[in-house]
Amino acid sequence: MPAKFHAIKALVFDVFGTVVDWRGSIIREVRKLSREKKLALDPAEFADAWRAGYQPAMAKVRSGTLGWTKIDALHRMILDDLLAKFGVEGLKESEIDHLNRVWHRLAPWPDSRAGLKALKKTRTIATLSNGNVSLLTNMAKAGGLPWDCVFSGELFHHYKPDPETYLGACELLSLEPAEVMMVAAHKNDLFAAKGCGLATGFVRRPLEHGPAVKNDLKAEKAFDINANDFLDLARRLGA
Amino acid sequence: MPAKFHAIKALVFDVFGTVVDWRGSIIREVRKLSREKKLALDPAEFADAWRAGYQPAMAKVRSGTLGWTKIDALHRMILDDLLAKFGVEGLKESEIDHLNRVWHRLAPWPDSRAGLKALKKTRTIATLSNGNVSLLTNMAKAGGLPWDCVFSGELFHHYKPDPETYLGACELLSLEPAEVMMVAAHKNDLFAAKGCGLATGFVRRPLEHGPAVKNDLKAEKAFDINANDFLDLARRLGA
């Protein structure tokens, strides 16, 4: 493996958008539900609106306006608002609950599984997501994601980008921050990790917000690796 | 699957003695070290003495005499005492550290891997051990243990049999205690889990303390399952 990355013993991964395609997965399920229930929803608009509620909901927890709340419960609050806003009526509680758990069933990007398997051979691989532990565990079982362990903001009662999350993961791994690489498609997540002393791996996910939205895909010198996908990341790490 | 166990969605496992053979593994490594370094140690006596220090060390944390301390550090305190007591001299720090990490390399019982793989098909399987997260993660990588997630007393800053551990695991799984089965070779662990409302699976490990020591292997009506090994447990659960 390249000498400069020899010190990296573990990789921790952002999940929504980095490992799995939340938008495509939600669009597929909402389209299906919309047809079955004759709801006339725009699935892409619905998916984007649901995701748009995510940062503001977490901000309430980070600021202390809301006590510690799992993402499942935040997703549900946003969903209840959206169903009203989009004029959806007549869904049973079990149907709404099933829809809310679409986040447990998000599909991996095409390279995610193979890339993680390659990386797992030489390093410990773990999630470091704001998704709750049961969400991440169910998603891994459904999508065949071979995590060595599942870390979540839930373990620290802090959401990324709070430093408690990055430093908490290093503490659980019994590693120094410099021995751990944060992998994400989102630069703010990586800059926050870097601020805590972790190594950083940027992975481009040009389709995260759909084909019409241009993500910031520019390589950053500040990051240790700028990769095109997980297989590219594995090659650059010599895995 | 048998109707009575349909409600069980996840299994959480005690690890030392239940999943892995700590005594045999330590004896093998100590014997090898003893030969290489001409130490004239009795490997079985050393293994038993090391394990004997474990409950008293955790008791200090449980009582508050000692602040939160990972098992790796507790193992090291006990080891330092033992090396002095057994008159072992001349080991380098790196050699003592490597010996201390024998707990990261404990070998699974012959049925553990196959049993866990079978159980994983129909349930979430997780550790619930007093071993720290990195210890359990390294052990799983070395021994091919296919955990869905790794739970440890470290996540709750409480050691089993404190109720915070059993209830904490259920909370992370987003399951009711009655939907989670604690699996262990130790009855006190199971009675404590049962007290928190979890289902219980007893697995006999007649050789945990070596061929000369008779364990309590008697089935208990209080437990939901009394099994001979993990494959037997999987059969009884219909996995």
Residue A15's alpha-carbon distances to A189, A220, B73, in angstroms, are 11, 20, 32
Give A138→chain B minimum CA distance, Å. 8
Residue A214's alpha-carbon distances to A4, A53, B112, in angstroms, are 32, 20, 49
Give A145→chain B minimum CA distance, Å. 10
Predicted confidence at residue B190, as pLDDT, reads 98
Q: What's the sign of the alpha-carbon dihedral B139, A13, A133, A174?
A: positive
Predicted confidence at residue A117, as pLDDT, reads 98
The reply to whether the predicted model has a pTM over 0.90 is: yes
CA–CA separation, B185 and B204 (whole Å): 6
Minimum CA–CA partner of A138 in chain B:
B124
Nearest Cβ partner for B137 among A70, A72, A124: A124
- State whether A100 and A110 are in the same domain: no
Tens of pLDDT along B18-66?
999 999 999 999 999 999 999 989 999 999 999 999 999 999 999 999 9
- State whether A96 and A183 are in the same domain: no
**Residues of chain A in Cβ contact (below 8 Å) with chain B:** 70, 72, 124, 126, 132-134, 137-138, 140-141, 147-150, 154-155, 172-175
User: What integer best gives the mean pLDDT of chain B?
Assistant: 96
The answer to whether B173 contacts A141, with C-beta atoms less than 8 Å apart, is no
Predicted confidence at residue B237, as pLDDT, reads 96
DSSP string, B146-202: --SEEEEHHHHT--TTSHHHHHHHHHHHT--GGGEEEEES-HHHHHHHHHTT-EEEE
- State whether B14 and B52 are in the same domain: no
Cβ-Cβ contacts under 8 Å, A134 against chain B:
172-175
Cβ-Cβ contacts under 8 Å, B173 against chain A:
133-134, 137
- More confidently predicted of B89 and B202: B202
- State whether A57 and A111 are in the same domain: no
The answer to whether A148 contacts B137, with C-beta atoms less than 8 Å apart, is yes
Distance of CA A202 to the CA centre of its chain: 13
CA–CA separation, A70 and B172 (whole Å): 10
CB pairs A-B closer than 8 Å: 55
Choose one of A104, A130, A150: the last residue of a domain: A104
Cβ-Cβ contacts under 8 Å, B174 against chain A:
70, 72, 132-134
- State whether A114 and A173 are in the same domain: yes
For β-strands A199-203 and A225-227, DSSP reports them as: parallel
CA–CA separation, B116 and A94 (whole Å): 31
Tens of pLDDT along B167-194?
999 999 999 999 999 999 999 999 999 9
Residue type, A123: R
The answer to whether B155 contacts A150, with C-beta atoms less than 8 Å apart, is no
Tens of pLDDT along B97-110?
999 999 999 999 99
- State whether A112 and A220 are in the same domain: yes
- Range of A86's domain? 22-104
- State whether A89 and A110 are in the same domain: no
Say how many C-beta atoms besides its own lie within 10 A of residue B44's C-beta.
16
Choose one of B42, B70, B104: the last residue of a domain: B104
Residue to substitute from A149, A157, A170, interface B, most B β-carbons within 10 A? A149
Q: What percent of chain B has pLDDT over 70?
A: 99
Question: Which residue(s) pair with B12 in the sheet?
Answer: B126, B182
- State whether B118 and B82 are in the same domain: no
Give A173→chain B minimum CA distance, Å. 5
**Contact (Cβ atoms closer than 8 angstroms) between residue A83 and residue A75:** no
State the Cα angle at B205 between B199 and B207, rounded to 5°.
Answer: 165
The Cβ-side half-sphere exposure at B229, using a 13 Å CA radius, reads: 15
The ipTM estimated for the assembled molecules is 0.96
Predicted confidence at residue A239, as pLDDT, reads 78
If one counts the domains in chain A, the total is 2
Cβ-Cβ contacts under 8 Å, A138 against chain B:
124
Cβ-Cβ contacts under 8 Å, B68 against chain A:
none
Nearest Cβ partner for B149 among A70, A72, A149: A149
State the Cα angle at B62 between B60 and B65, rounded to 5°.
Answer: 40
The answer to whether A137 contacts B70, with C-beta atoms less than 8 Å apart, is no
- State whether B123 and B222 are in the same domain: yes
pLDDT tens for each residue of chain A, 239 residues long: 566 799 999 999 999 999 999 999 999 999 999 999 999 899 999 999 999 999 999 999 999 999 999 999 999 999 999 999 999 999 999 999 999 999 999 999 999 999 999 999 999 999 999 999 999 999 999 999 999 999 999 999 999 999 999 999 999 999 999 999 999 999 999 999 999 999 999 999 999 999 999 889 999 999 999 999 999 999 999 97
The answer to whether A148 contacts B141, with C-beta atoms less than 8 Å apart, is yes
B133 contacts: CB under 8 Å, gap ≥ 6: A149, A172, A173, A174, B150, B152, B154, B155
Q: Is the pLDDT of residue B1 over 60?
A: no
CATH code of residue A200:
3.40.50.1000
Q: What percent of chain B has pLDDT over 90?
A: 95
Predicted confidence at residue B113, as pLDDT, reads 98
Choose one of B43, B72, B104: the last residue of a domain: B104
Nearest Cβ partner for A141 among B134, B148, B172: B148
Minimum CA–CA partner of A174 in chain B:
B134
Give B75→chain A minimum CA distance, Å. 15
- State whether A133 and A225 are in the same domain: yes
Nearest Cβ partner for A173 among B134, B149, B155: B134
- State whether B115 and B68 are in the same domain: no
Nearest Cβ partner for B148 among A72, A140, A174: A140
CATH code of residue B61:
1.10.150.240
The answer to whether A172 contacts B149, with C-beta atoms less than 8 Å apart, is no
- State whether B231 and B157 are in the same domain: yes
Residue to substitute from B119, B149, B170, B180, interface A, most A β-carbons within 10 A? B149
**Residues of chain B in Cβ contact (below 8 Å) with chain A:** 70, 72, 124, 126, 132-134, 137-138, 140-141, 147-150, 154-155, 172-175
